[in-house]
Structure 1
Amino acid sequence: MPFFHRTPRAILFDIYGTLLKSSAGETHPDPALRALIERAHAASPHPFPEVDIREIHAAKHPGLSPSEVEQLAMEHEQAVNPVSAMPGAVETLRELSSRGILLGLVSNAQFYTVPVMATCLGSPLADFGIDPELCVFSYLEHRAKPDPHLFELARERLRARGIQPSEALYIGNDVRNDIEPANATGFRTALFTGDEASLRLRGKSLDECGADAVISYLLELCRM
């Protein structure tokens, strides 16, 4: 069903569970990594802290060079959380970009997320019209969703281009991490339910999820 009186000027996406099929958020690192992450979280002043995973692996393996740390972190991620492109992701991004809609990302992510995503989609993100200035990632801010700070950053970057949050759409698969903070920041929202393994209703029904729309296939965005 249409929920915009006109086409949104910008669409921002979550990544894991929305553009990429993934079990992110449900994986369990080895105990040593988990202990280091928990220690970093405890030292953070933010209610929803995030780490740069390179710092965690470097603390566990102090003898490694920065490039070796990155390689180790990527190999560990690929082992515990293999990902692939969500059905319809490539076609949806290309179609929306061709219509002149600004595209961006607001996601709990790490340094490897963008290259992994590009590999899954088969091309650099710029080829799909994803604007790096409209990408907000948790590891760079040391704050994770559902912290509204990430959405507030995206809102201000859009306002700098003359786009109000009510003219933008945010789409994600998690009611708590995506829909609620995006709504609170003034964005229109769509809950993506296309991957049951990664859908997070957080005890809500679809009718209670708070999103302006519920979609089960990404290409539905192009028909709204």
Structure 2
Amino acid sequence: MNKVNQLSFAGQTIYCGLDAHKTNWKINCRMEDMEIASFSQNADAVLLKKHMSSNYPDAEIKVVYEAGFCGFGIQRSLKELGIECIIVNAADIPTTDKERKRKDDKRDARKLSRELAEGSLKAIYVPQPSMEHARSLVRQRHRLVQDQTRCKNRIKHLMMFSGLSTQSAQERWSQKYVKELLHLDCGTEQLKSALYLAVEQYQHIRKLLKEATVLIKNLSKQEPFATVQKYL
């Protein structure tokens, strides 16, 4: 019997543009200047690996996707599976006027694979998971600072709108001042309840902010963050 030659893409590179969504991916594949496939699949790195290995055995696979809501998870998953993957800023991708006016997932994936094959894309830095998670903690503290400011402004607005005032100055929100707010004569139970809820919200956020600050201080004493902090 004649032996059937197995298809092999050894020595070939397949460039894949991946347009990511929460539950599905739109993928466009090309070899140099030739588009060879366009398909959709569930958002699963293992599934993509199986598809590429089955259809393009022995080929070198390179993938690119835009930075966004999915973060670095796709890149790390594909890297663990042996697939080279980069992430790019959407604003850095060369785009034609036609592509700007007629934007959809299929075109976005095609644009990514085209630019990846041409070598025009600049990858963003992918941090180590530990550093990324530390950044998330710092960002969360920043959000709490913003939330605390919003709570203060809401309380000030409520008091000004309702004609309320305290004996203490509002420049420093001390425990004494907060206690005075809670015991303020508002005239009606409804207004007192509104002020009470606003102050309670402020106190809760302030408590969370203190906890976040302690966590970051403790983190700054550990490596590699302690070393990095010396150069800030």
Question: TM-score, normalising length from structure 1?
Answer: 0.29
Question: TM-score, normalising length from structure 2?
Answer: 0.28
Q: Using CA pairs below 8 Å that are at least 6 residues apart, which structure has the higher relative contact order?
A: 1
